[in-house]
């Protein structure tokens, strides 16, 4: 029987020249590429891949950004079924993720269901340059040095995790900004950390944006592809 492989391929933060050579090779070799989309709307991942390797069969998989657990699980199962049906025909396919596929990625949401429906399928993961590495490079700011500790906090559902992290860690990377941006800024203001914070959206994209005066973002709508990095004064 022909070996079947699903590759989880990290394509980096969005600049085609930050795709690794391994990812590029696999994306060229596979007959089909699965691209995640949110609520039916295609994400940037597909266009990054197309720019890098040209047109091939793309299958867009819809992952609704809903808070309802059942709806999310149902959608993930549907996506996994679609992947498995396709792999029965093509035997090779790549699921692409922006950044790294095992770091806050939809790939890890479908993985358990693909394994359940097709246990014989081999899974291979190709790491990608994560957005927080792209952002720290853009800012030329080390994420951690020597014995410093770093925390990554998604700010989707409030600021409790952020408050905890700011008390205990030297660098705090705040991801998934959006609805709670104002609350995040309030927490940074209360702790006198606004000067230590930098906001970056769409790092590596044509419309990337860096805002050092983070307080000026108060009351504005920011892109989901944004993060704030807070670094404490370094003890040198
Ligand atoms: C679902 S997570 C995906 C993370 C991705 N797998 C990675 O390794 O970076 C989405 C979050 O990543 C961050 N992000 C992804 N790409 C970004 C970019 N180009 N610039 C700034 N932040 C980005 C944002 O915080 C966004 O809310």
Task: Looking at the structure, tell me whether residues 148 and 56 fall in a common domain.
Answer: no
Task: Looking at the structure, tell me whether residues 163 and 103 fall in a common domain.
Answer: no
Tell me the per-residue pLDDT of 190-210, one tens digit each, with 9 for 90 and over: 999 999 999 999 998 889 999
Read off the pLDDT band of 39 (50, 70, 90): low
Q: Is 204 in the pocket of ligand 1 (CB under 6 A)?
A: yes
Task: Looking at the structure, tell me whether residues 90 and 141 fall in a common domain.
Answer: no
Please check whether residue 236 lies inside any domain of the structure.
Answer: no
Read off the pLDDT band of 216 (50, 70, 90): very high
Task: Look up residue 208 and give its two tokens.
Answer: 């990337």
Q: 174, 171, 170, 150: which is closest to 162 by C-alpha?
A: 174
Q: Is 115 in the pocket of ligand 1 (CB under 6 A)?
A: no
Q: Is 224 in the pocket of ligand 1 (CB under 6 A)?
A: yes
Domain count, the chain: 2
Alpha-carbon distance of 70 to 82, in angstroms, equals 18
Task: Looking at the structure, tell me whether residues 68 and 158 fall in a common domain.
Answer: no
Residue where a domain terminates, one of 126, 141, 165: 126
Q: Which atom of ligand 1 is least distant from the CA of 101?
A: 6
**Domain enclosing residue 221, as ranges:** 131-231
Looking at residue 236, its pLDDT comes to: 55
Mutation to probe ligand 1, out of 175, 176, 217 (largest number of atoms < 8 A from CB): 175
Task: Looking at the structure, tell me whether residues 74 and 164 fall in a common domain.
Answer: no
Looking at residue 227, its pLDDT comes to: 96
| pLDDT, averaged across the chain | 91
Residue 227 near residue 174 (C-beta atoms within 8 A): yes
The domain spanning residue 185 has which CATH number? Answer: 3.30.950.10
Three-state DSSP string of the chain: CCCCEEEEEECECCCHHHCCHHHHHHHHHCCEEEEEEECCEECHHHHHHHHHHCCCEEEEEECCCCCCHHHHHHHHHHHHHHHHHHHHHHCEEEEEECECCCCCCCHHHHHHHHHHHCCCCEEEEECCCCHHHHHHHHHCCCCCCCCCCEEEEECCCCCHHHHHHHHHCCEEEEECCCCCHHHHHHHHHHCCCHHHEEEEECCCCCCCEEECCHHHHCCCCCCCCEEEEEECCCCC
Tell me the per-residue pLDDT of 148-162, one tens digit each, with 9 for 90 and over: 999 999 988 789 999
Tell me the per-residue pLDDT of 50-73, one tens digit each, with 9 for 90 and over: 888 887 899 999 887 776 888 888
Indicate whether 48 pLDDT > 70. yes
The domain spanning residue 92 has which CATH number? Answer: 3.40.1010.10
Q: How far is the CA of 201 from the centre of ligand 1 (A)?
A: 9
Q: Is 43 in the pocket of ligand 1 (CB under 6 A)?
A: no
Q: How far is the CA of 7 from the centre of ligand 1 (A)?
A: 20
Q: How far is the CA of 115 from the centre of ligand 1 (A)?
A: 26
Task: Looking at the structure, tell me whether residues 45 and 121 fall in a common domain.
Answer: yes
């Amino acid at each position: 029987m022909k070996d079947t492989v699903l590759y989880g391929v990290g394509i980096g933060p969005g600049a085609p020249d930050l795709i690794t050579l391994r990812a590029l090779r696999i994306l060229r070799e596979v007959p089909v590429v699965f691209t995640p989309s949110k609520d039916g709307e295609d994400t940037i991942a597909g266009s990054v891949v197309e720019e890098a390797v040209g047109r091939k069969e793309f299958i867009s998989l819809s992952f609704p950004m809903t808070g309802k657990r059942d709806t999310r699980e149902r959608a993930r199962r549907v996506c996994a079924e679609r992947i498995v049906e396709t792999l029965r025909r093509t035997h090779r396919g790549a699921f692409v993720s922006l950044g790294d596929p095992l770091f806050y990625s939809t790939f890890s949401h479908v993985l358990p269901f693909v394994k359940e429906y097709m246990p014989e399928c081999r899974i291979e993961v190709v790491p990608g340059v994560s957005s927080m590495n792209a952002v720290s490079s853009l800012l030329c700011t080390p994420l951690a040095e020597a014995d410093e500790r770093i925390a990554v906090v998604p700010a989707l559902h409030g600021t409790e995790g952020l408050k905890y992290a700011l008390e205990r860690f030297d660098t705090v990377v705040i991801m998934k900004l959006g609805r709670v941006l104002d609350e995040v800024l309030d927490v940074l203001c209360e702790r006198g950390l606004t000067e230590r914070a930098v906001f970056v959206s769409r790092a590596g994209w044509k419309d990337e944006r860096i805002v050092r005066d983070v307080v000026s973002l108060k009351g504005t709508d920011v892109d989901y592809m944004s993060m704030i990095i807070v670094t404490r004064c370094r003890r040198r």
